[in-house]
Chains A and B, each alone.
Chain A
Amino acid sequence: MEAEITLTVDGARRTLAVDTRVTLLDALRERLGVTSPKKGCGHGQCGACTVLLDGRRATTCLALAVAHDGARITTSAGLAGTDELHPLHQAFLDHDGFQCGYCTPGQICSAAGVLDEAERGWPSAVTANITDITDTAGAPALDAGEIRERMSGNLCRCGAYPNIVAAVAAVAEGRSR
């Protein structure tokens, strides 16, 4: 069974007919040729397929394309808009936050989500005092412990974690100044 859907991917409107079983990830990769999000496990366990889905980070391998008709999707390739690189891209380059690069677009989309969530005052499992945040509507400081916790949905087998944390921290610090 097929359904026609429209997706806005990195600013471009794309209309396609999809088998209703097709995941959002396979719609992007195999139907639209958008290969910035990667398939690492197909089960939402590794995070390589992470994009910003209507502004929030999401694992596209666990989403059915037909359920996201009209969605706005930003991949790492579209994160910078018309600029060459997003500050997160540059920070990952500066801190060598990757080796093979396969998990990297997902890490970067996830990091964009982390920065946004923290700015909205969303706590994580390691946020020491949740009431402080909600009372002031302030952002929890993204220290290394917060970043590690919030980035743990994105696996990296090359083991670039310390560099990823440094990269995200650098961008977070730049924003808070």
Chain B
Amino acid sequence: MTELLRPRSMGQARERVDGAAKVTGRARYAFEQPVERPAYVHPVQATIARGRVRTMHTGDAAALDGVLTVLTPDNAPLLATGHDPELEILQSPEVAFRGQLIGAVIAETPETARQAAGLVRADYERQPHDVTLSPERDDLYRPDVVNPSLPTDTGQGDVDAALRAAEHTVAATYTTAMYHNNPMEPHATVALWDEGGLTLHDSTQGVHAMREAVAPVLGLDKERIRVIARYVGGGFGSKGTAHAHIVLAALAAKRMPGRPVKLALTRQQMFSLAGYRTPTIQRVRLAADAAGRLTAIGNDVVEQTSRIKEFAEQTGVPARTTYAAPNRRTTHRLAALDVPVPSWMRAPGECPGMFGPEVAMDELAEDCGLDPVELRVRNEPETDPDTGLPFSSRDLVGCLHEGARRFGWQRRERAPRSRIEDGWWTGTGVASSTYPVHSAPGTSATVRLGRDGSFEVLIGAVDIGTGAWTILTQIAADALGVPAEDVHLHLGDTDLPQAPVAGGSSGTTNWGTAIVEAARSFREKYGADAGPGDELIATVPANPHSDRFAMRAFGAQFAEVRVHAATGEVRVPRLLGVFAAGRIVNPRTARSQFIGGMTMGLSMALHEDSVFDERFGFVVNHDLAEYHIAACADVESIEAQWLDEHDPYVNPMGTKGIGEIGIVGTAAAIANAAYHATGVRIRDLPVTADKFLD
């Protein structure tokens, strides 16, 4: 057991360290780096979903005043192939999805680059494309693992037999839509290739991860690549892995040695080039005895990946671990289609994979004649049903009870469609949430004593809006035993110690642990005699408790929903989330993380739906006017609360990670509340007005 760091600065609701720079707009994001005489890159994208480019006609583009060069598969610099097909652009005439990069214009101004890109014409040899996701396909396949490296299928007992024997059963299909991350800052890179190597100012969740991804593709020693990202305008997973445009920026820079090149994807381009969450089709089965104790849980998932690169979303995972049941089964089957490459989006697996089972639990509660909170409490497992390990800490029941108390759950009518107020059917719903505690060994941090007695802390972490600048300062202060004012952080640069991506809600665990290790080692080495310039770098080993405990955060989501009786308009006047997520380092930034996740969950529940046109193979609503994300008027009361949780096994801070659990379960709670309001059960997201009208 690790001794938890004593909180002094931790626990304080400190204002964001980067706050003043951000509110005034002085914080410079990737595309805003002051560079001399930049050239601008505008991509050219495939307009077919499958086939090959026969000829690129670039004459009109090249003839335009201000065009420096036009890149095509015929003339682009060579890449090393065999590493990552998503990144190996302009190396062959093959087209694997509509929107794939087939060229680019480099010009003196962004206007000229864009105009010229529009003048490039491609002749294609078209092949019939196949972009239809369906559970009826006969070519669904079983991936070797699901993201990140979890078993594809799990099972124990006999779910079929349990369903036949059970007093109460639910067997239904639930679907989630295709979603696009859409961080507010479009993906952007400023690249400079000179004698020193390649410098990339990139909008990324991980500077080291980006370097690791592009170095082999570019055939460059990674020591010759520097990636910098001090401020990043959100990512939600889409900036956690390298996408093709970063390679395009590097190729353009290679063609313009010594001159910086700037590439920002347009919002429309992001819908085919920056990843997305696969649609999911979930066949969920639950069985319970007369007392509402689960005898079986199953989730058989069908989803898509791209033909050129596999991403298998781990949608079945929540069904493995949330509730006790002797008979269990989860499977994942994929259709490899001529579609853009899916990837991480906030809580991959857990987020869509909580929708089906948690709506099914609501249906089971009704079938059992039990309160939905009570049904969940009755099925609390003693150990992790997936691994058999004890939980390092788990307080789902506490979250459900505290949430029910704060939400006024006991006033709820038992029967659906019981309450109408001013023409609005009104109801409430609940869902559980869970998200794992991820950690990766190998993170490093440096602690250095400055001339003025303050400390510098160096780590290649990235703050994408999570609050890392602030909370890592607080952790470092407590680890060193100094006030937070005496800690100065350096983040977001591969010249700093190695740090993993801001993803999987693991930033605080990985980076914080490294900082604590470095601070403790510094104190051990120098004691009270440290002088200016003394420094120490420490690297985190694997967590020795990881094999002994299942480590997860839990939460309960409560929603109130109103559906207009005449129009079907859906509103969410109230959301409450209660979380057991370890120690909270900064209540101010943590609350923003929770309510931000819940807001994205509300957006998923009511609005988001990438409409894929199967005739052409692309998302037709590819902008922020038609791909609707929650706006200010969509969000009324959202509250987040947390329970004190002391977990000595997760890391020296006792934190579990809070970036993703807020989105998990929210859509199910809203769909369940919509059912309670109207008596209409919606199993296919989003919950839109038309689904309430006959």
Residues of chain A whose beta carbon lies under 8 Å from any beta carbon of chain B: 19, 21-22, 26, 29-30, 33, 35-43, 45-46, 48, 75-77, 79-80, 84-85, 88-89, 92-94, 96, 98-105, 108, 144, 147-149, 151-152, 154-165
Contacts and interface: CB of A to CB of B under 8 A. Distances in A.
Contact of A162 (B595, B625, B633): B595
Nearest to B262: A30
Contact of B25 (A46, A93, A105, A160): A105
B331 interface: no
Interface string B274-295: 0000000000000000000000
A78 B264 CA distance: 26
Nearest to B594: A159
B467 A99 contact: yes
18 contacts: A36-B26, A38-B233, A40-B624, A76-B23, A98-B465, A101-B18, A101-B23, A102-B185, A108-B23, A152-B631, A152-B632, A154-B632, A156-B184, A158-B592, A159-B595, A161-B599, A161-B635, A163-B595
B691 interface: no
B588 A98 contact: no
Contact of A155 (B29, B184, B232): B184
Interface string B86-129: 00000000000000000000000111100100000000000000
A104 B25 contact: yes
Given A148-B632, A159-B635, A42 B25 contact: no
Given A96-B588, A162-B638, A41 B598 contact: no
A98 B631 CA distance: 14
A96 B595 CA distance: 12
Given A100-B185, A157-B234, A159-B597, A42 B629 contact: no
Interface string B597-640: 11110010000000000000000000111000111110111100
A93 B231 contact: no
A76 B25 contact: yes
Nearest to B15: A93
A92 B20 CA distance: 9
Given A33-B34, A100-B234, A162-B638, A93 B19 contact: yes
B624 A96 contact: no
Contacts of A161: 599, 630-632, 635, 638
A100 B184 contact: yes
A158 B589 CA distance: 12
A39 B632 contact: no
Interface string B635-663: 11110000000000000000000000000
A154 B629 CA distance: 11
Contacts of A160: 592, 595-596
Contacts of B632: 147-149, 151-152, 154, 156, 161, 164-165
Contacts of A36: 24-26
A152 B26 contact: no
A159 B184 contact: no
Contacts of A162: 595, 635, 637-638
Contact of B625 (A33, A43, A152): A43
A163 B635 CA distance: 11
B236 interface: yes
A104 B630 CA distance: 16
B266 interface: yes
A105 B592 contact: no
Contacts of A152: 631-633
A101 B631 contact: no
A159 to B, nearest CB: 3
A48 B629 CA distance: 14
Given A42-B267, A100-B184, A102-B29, A22 B23 contact: no
B28 interface: yes
B466 A43 contact: no
Most chain B beta-carbon contacts within 10 A, residue among A41, A96, A160: A96
Given A40-B185, A94-B15, A100-B232, 18 more contacts: A19-B112, A30-B109, A43-B267, A45-B267, A46-B624, A84-B20, A89-B23, A92-B23, A100-B234, A104-B25, A108-B23, A151-B632, A156-B184, A157-B600, A158-B184, A159-B595, A159-B599, A161-B631
Q: Which 9 A-B pairs have the closest CB atoms?
A: A36-B25, A102-B233, A159-B599, A100-B465, A101-B22, A105-B25, A99-B465, A159-B596, A35-B32
Interface of B: 15-16, 18-29, 31-32, 34, 109-112, 115, 182-186, 231-234, 236, 264, 266-267, 464-467, 588-589, 591-593, 595-600, 603, 623-625, 629-633, 635-638
B110 A26 contact: yes
A27 to B, nearest CB: 11
B26 to A, nearest CB: 6
Given A45-B625, A48-B184, A162-B637, A39 B22 contact: no
B522 to A, nearest CB: 31
A80 B20 CA distance: 12
Contact of A45 (B16, B232, B595, B623): B623
Given A40-B185, A45-B624, A35 B28 contact: yes
Contact of B23 (A29, A33, A98): A98
A26 B18 CA distance: 25
A75 B466 CA distance: 25
A65 to B, nearest CB: 11
B629 A39 contact: no
Nearest to B589: A96
Contacts of B110: 26, 30
Contacts of A84: 20
A99 B466 contact: yes
Nearest to A156: B184
B190 to A, nearest CB: 12
Most chain B beta-carbon contacts within 10 A, residue among A76, A84, A102, A144: A102
Contacts of B28: 35
A17 to B, nearest CB: 12
B341 to A, nearest CB: 21
B27 A101 contact: yes
Nearest to B635: A161
Contacts of B464: 100
Nearest to A147: B632
B185 A38 contact: yes
A156 B21 CA distance: 18
A100 B230 CA distance: 11
A41 B23 contact: no
B25 A43 contact: no
A164 B266 CA distance: 26
B233 A93 contact: no
